[in-house]
Chain A
Amino acid sequence: MSHFAKRIAGVSLGAAVLCGVSVQADAQLLTHKDLSVEIATQMALTAIDACKAQGYNVSAHVLGREGQVVVAMRNPAAGFATFENSMKKAYTARTTRAPSGRFADAVKGNPNAGQFFLTNFVAAQGALPIMVGNDTIGAIGISGAPGGDKDEACAKAGIDKVAAQLR
């Protein structure tokens, strides 16, 4: 090997080791807890039943970590807009990692808030993030009760039902 080739090899090896080290630190996989379809179904059904017990027919969506639908439930006894609305509320809660009612409060009087130009945001109470500690692993959205506070109470009933499993 010529002197030049040795230098190249040395530099390359050094760079490779450096890269290897820095990549390795970044390259650890993320460890996630995620909703199972069983738990998500239980949450949605509990929320719908909790509202029904109070005389409210509602639809429900439970979304996962990426905002993907894990369970969607249309209540034929509820208005047909409730299906879409429950999804959008849940999406809003998931992406803001906060109750959708908080977003509604935050943009009150500001109809040109940037989020209104994003897909699936809705300024309406009735959805809550699903947390494992400080990690938001999804959201549940409810629509159909006469008032977002009532929707949210049913969403909370759904989360409370599976609280022991959310860890």
Chain B
Amino acid sequence: MKKIAIIAGLSLAGMLAGSANAQLIAHKDLSLPTAVTIAQTAVQTCKAQGYLVSANVLGRSGEVIVAMRGDDTGPHTLENSFKKAWTARATRAPSVNFANTLKQNPTAGARSLSNMVPAQGALPIMVGEDVIGAIGVSGAPGGDKDEACAKAGIDKVAAELR
């Protein structure tokens, strides 16, 4: 009898755990207008400083929401801004962190993954602790300057990121 009670207790616990797992995940995700504002602000901020840049804003799964090729930018900047953003999204951190990681460990496994690039200029887009995307910027003379423009893009929509 005791045994049966224990079994019943275990199944009940199992059911509870099961129903807990079965809840859908509640996500906040970037809307297109918000993503456009982020990208446009970043490109224009850099342009105001005399830097011609391209920008990519990626969503939760690394999908491109907005890709923006700045006027008269180098042809690689659109791809590079995408890869920086991918790196920031994948690592949930500024892409400069991955650059620093590779400095310590040049053969880190993530180096061999598609789209990872050890270059500063991208930031994750956060809602609280949740990474909902990333913005990458490329074209300024220095990743720190790219990153500052990426930050300007995020700051512009800070009120919407919650």
Identify the A interface with B (CB < 8 A). 36-38, 41, 45, 48, 64, 68-77, 80, 83
Per-residue 0/1 for B53-79: is the Cβ within 8 Å of any A Cβ (1 yes, 0 no)?
Answer: 000000100011111111100010010
**Of A48, A71, A80, A83, the contact of B68 (CB 8 Å cutoff):** A71
Expressed in whole angstroms, the Cα–Cα distance for A64 and B71 within the complex equals: 11
Sampled A-B contacts (29; CB under 8 Å): A36-B71, A37-B43, A37-B68, A37-B69, A37-B70, A37-B71, A38-B71, A41-B36, A41-B68, A45-B36, A48-B32, A69-B67, A69-B69, A69-B78, A70-B68, A70-B69, A71-B69, A72-B64, A72-B67, A72-B68, A73-B32, A74-B32, A74-B59, A74-B64, A75-B32, A76-B30, A76-B32, A77-B32, A80-B63
Instruction: Give chain A nearest CB distance to B74 CB in angstroms.
Output: 12
Using CB atoms, name the residue of chain A closest to B60: A76
Expressed in whole angstroms, the Cα–Cα distance for A83 and B67 within the complex equals: 11
Q: Are B69 and A76 in contact (CB under 8 A)?
A: no
Question: Any chain A CB within 8 A of the CB of B91?
Answer: no
**Of B31, B75, B78, the contact of A76 (CB 8 Å cutoff):** B31
Residues of B within 8 A of A41 (CB): 36, 40, 68
Using CB atoms, name the residue of chain A closest to B73: A37
Expressed in whole angstroms, the Cα–Cα distance for A71 and B71 within the complex equals: 11
Instruction: Give chain B nearest CB distance to A48 CB in angstroms.
Output: 7
Expressed in whole angstroms, the Cα–Cα distance for A48 and B36 within the complex equals: 12
Residues of A within 8 A of B59 (CB): 74, 76
Using CB atoms, name the residue of chain B closest to A61: B67
Residues of B within 8 A of A83 (CB): 63-64
Q: Are B65 and A73 in contact (CB under 8 A)?
A: yes
Using CB atoms, name the residue of chain A closest to B66: A73
Expressed in whole angstroms, the Cα–Cα distance for A68 and B63 within the complex equals: 18
